[in-house]
Every structure is written in structure tokens, then in C-alpha cells.
């Protein structure tokens, strides 16, 4: 759907959004993945900087949070009675970190947080995993996490704890992800090719939105795809849509059930869906 929304922008639709079911064929048996969920996606042109789009996403999230807190206290109390949770701490504009700043926080504060977890953890497998991440000479060493290295789920959660402790915020944005870990259609940073004009939005240390400025120059798009080994022949109409003049644009995708889970502090995404679907559940 993202590619079609981008093509719609090239037909003079300045802002396009979509609310639709998303089906993902992936064997992800985790607390935060489902094979069917509701996607809230948007693409939007901008005039000067892709942060115009990031600001729109930020304002939208805060408007949703404000609306829930102001108009749905009865429903929130009903959830809290079964699953007690701490109110989400957020502000507008929200806390923003560059990716390299976030990695520096992980390296600086992360080992001490892991050491605390090691002292309190009783499960031996979990303790062994923590030791791996604390081993300064090991491949999983948190202290040696490079600025341009991808951030895994464990890193995301640990960073969320650090941000909450240092800044008192549960909702924040990480900007300028490494170009190497983003798709071919992501716009590189114009001043440093190691980075890209891309971002993720986090709630309680878990990603709820991934987005970026998209490459809108057809030749650059072809070059980026070739560099990453992507064959564009099946979607060449997508490339063609940018050949007659294209506005710079950006967007992002949001998973509704994951936002609900994290806003309410639920332990599992399946509690945010009436009929959750995963690799082992199709009925009811």
C-alpha cells in the first residue's frame, strides 16, 4: 500500500492516509506480533524538510493520547481494573534523539541497567543472555554497540527504560537511522551517506511506527535499488510515477493494536484484539 500512496501523491494528492487490515506471512511468535492487524498509514508531501511530516505524526499521536485521556476515563478504568498500568508520559513536541545519540545512551547507561537485571533475574537462560550482552569481548557486547549497528528488540526495550529514567518520558522519536538498515526507497542523508532521513516512533521502549523520507528521483531510486540488490522490474510503474516531476514526500506505518497494547501497558498484543491471529491461531 505504501507504494500506491506514494504514486497518489504524484497525482497531486498532497496527503494520503489509509486505515485497512494488514496480513503478514511471518513466523513471529512474540508478544507484539500478529499475522493480521489494522494498519494506519500515511504519506505526505512537504515543502522544506521531512520533519514537517514527522511533526504531523507527532501531533497525531499526541491528539490520540489526549483524546483517550480526556474522553475515555471510564473505559481506561475498566482496563486498569484487570491490568493495572501507569499512565503514559508524553508531551508535544516529544523527545527526539538522533540514532547515534541513542546508541551512545545505550553504551553509557545500558551495562549498568543490565547488571541490575542480572542481580534480580532468577531464570538461568535469561541470566546467560544478560551475561552475553555484558561481555565486553563478546559479539553481543552492549558496550561495543556501534553507532551504525542495527538496534534489536532487546536494545529497544533497554533504551526505553533508560529514556524513561533520564527524561521521564514513555513516548519519543529516534531520527536519522543508518542507511544500511533501511529499505532501498529511503532517502539518504544529504550530508553524510552513513545516515538516512528515516525515523521510528516508540512507546514504552517498543517501536510503533517506522517511516522515512522516500526517494522521489527516479534515477536515484534505480541506483539505490541496484546497490541493495533489489529488482524493480515487477514494480516499474512505481518508478515511472516519479518521471514527470515529483514532490519530496515522507510517511510512516502504524500498527493500531500495538499502539493500544503499549498505551494501556498490556503484556501481550493479543489482549488488544477481539480475534487475534498469529501463526498458530486462525479460529475463532
Please say if 26 is a catalytic residue. Answer: yes
Q: Is the pLDDT of residue 140 over 90?
A: no
**pLDDT at position 141:** 87
Q: Is the pLDDT of residue 261 over 90?
A: yes
Catalytic one among 145, 207, 249, 257? 207
pLDDT in tens, 58-91: 999 999 999 999 999 999 999 999 999 999 999 9
Q: Is the pLDDT of residue 25 over 90?
A: no
- Nearest of 186, 185, 221, 207 to residue 253 by alpha carbon: 207
Contact by Cβ (8 Å): 225, 183: no
Please say if 273 is a catalytic residue. Answer: no
Catalytic one among 32, 133, 214, 216? 32
φ, ψ at 51 (rounded to 5°): -65, -15
Please say if 258 is a catalytic residue. Answer: yes
Please say if 24 is a catalytic residue. Answer: yes
Contact by Cβ (8 Å): 89, 164: yes
30: helix, strand or coil = coil
**pLDDT at position 138:** 79
- Nearest of 255, 180, 147 to residue 188 by alpha carbon: 180
Contact by Cβ (8 Å): 105, 163: yes
Contact by Cβ (8 Å): 170, 160: yes
Count of beta carbons in the 10 Å neighbourhood of residue 276: 16
Residues 144 and 155: their CA atoms lie apart, in Å, by 13
Q: What is the number of alpha carbons within 13 Å of residue 9 lying toward its C-beta?
A: 26
Residues 258 and 263: their CA atoms lie apart, in Å, by 8
Residues 198 and 115: their CA atoms lie apart, in Å, by 32
pLDDT in tens, 30-56: 999 999 999 999 999 999 999 999 999
Catalytic one among 25, 33, 133, 198? 33
**pLDDT at position 224:** 96
Alpha-carbon distances, residue 259 vs 71, 178, 268, 276 (angstroms): 18, 25, 12, 15
- Nearest of 256, 283, 232 to residue 64 by alpha carbon: 256
Catalytic one among 258, 270, 272, 273? 258
Catalytic one among 26, 75, 116, 227? 26
**pLDDT at position 135:** 87
pLDDT in tens, 199-255: 999 999 999 999 999 999 999 999 999 999 999 999 999 999 999 989 999 999 999
Q: Is the pLDDT of residue 28 over 90?
A: no
Please say if 43 is a catalytic residue. Answer: no
Residues in contact with 64: Cβ distance below 8 Å, sequence separation at least 6, in sequence order: 259
Catalytic one among 15, 154, 210, 277? 210
Residues 195 and 228: their CA atoms lie apart, in Å, by 15
Amino acid at each position: 500500500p505504501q507504494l500506491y500512496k506514494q504514486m497518489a501523491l504524484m497525482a497531486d494528492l498532497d496527503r494520503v492516509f489509509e486505515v485497512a487490515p494488514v496480513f503478514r506471512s511471518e513466523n513471529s511468535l512474540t508478544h507484539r506480533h500478529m499475522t493480521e492487524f489494522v494498519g494506519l498509514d500515511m504519506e505526505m508531501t512537504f515543502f522544506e524538510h521531512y520533519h514537517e511530516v514527522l511533526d504531523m505524526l507527532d501531533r497525531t499521536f499526541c491528539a490520540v493520547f489526549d483524546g483517550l485521556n480526556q474522553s475515555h476515563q471510564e473505559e481506561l478504568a475498566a482496563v486498569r481494573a484487570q491490568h493495572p498500568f501507569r499512565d503514559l508520559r508524553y508531551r508535544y513536541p516529544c523527545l527526539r534523539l538522533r540514532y547515534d545519540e541513542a546508541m551512545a545512551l545505550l553504551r553509557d547507561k545500558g551495562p549498568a541497567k543490565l547488571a541490575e537485571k542480572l542481580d534480580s533475574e532468577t531464570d538461568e537462560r535469561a541470566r546467560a543472555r544478560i551475561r552475553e550482552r555484558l561481555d565486553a569481548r563478546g559479539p553481543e557486547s552492549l558496550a561495543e554497540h556501534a553507532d551504525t549497528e542495527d538496534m534489536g528488540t532487546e536494545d529497544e526495550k533497554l533504551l526505553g527504560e533508560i529514556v524513561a529514567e533520564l527524561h521521564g518520558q514513555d513516548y519519543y522519536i529516534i531520527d536519522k537511522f543508518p542507511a544500511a538498515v533501511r529499505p532501498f526507497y529511503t532517502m539518504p542523508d544529504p550530508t553524510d551517506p552513513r545516515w538516512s532521513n528515516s525515523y521510528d516512533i516508540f512507546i514504552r521502549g517498543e517501536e510503533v511506527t517506522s517511516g522515512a523520507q522516500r526517494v522521489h528521483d527516479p534515477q536515484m531510486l534505480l541506483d539505490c535499488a541496484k546497490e541493495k540488490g533489489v529488482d524493480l522490474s515487477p514494480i516499474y510503474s512505481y518508478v515511472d510515477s516519479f518521471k514527470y516531476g515529483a514532490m519530496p514526500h515522507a510517511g510512516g506505518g502504524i500498527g493500531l493494536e500495538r499502539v493500544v497494547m503499549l498505551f494501556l501497558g498490556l503484556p501481550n498484543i493479543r489482549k488488544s484484539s477481539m480475534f487475534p491471529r498469529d501463526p498458530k491461531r486462525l479460529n475463532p
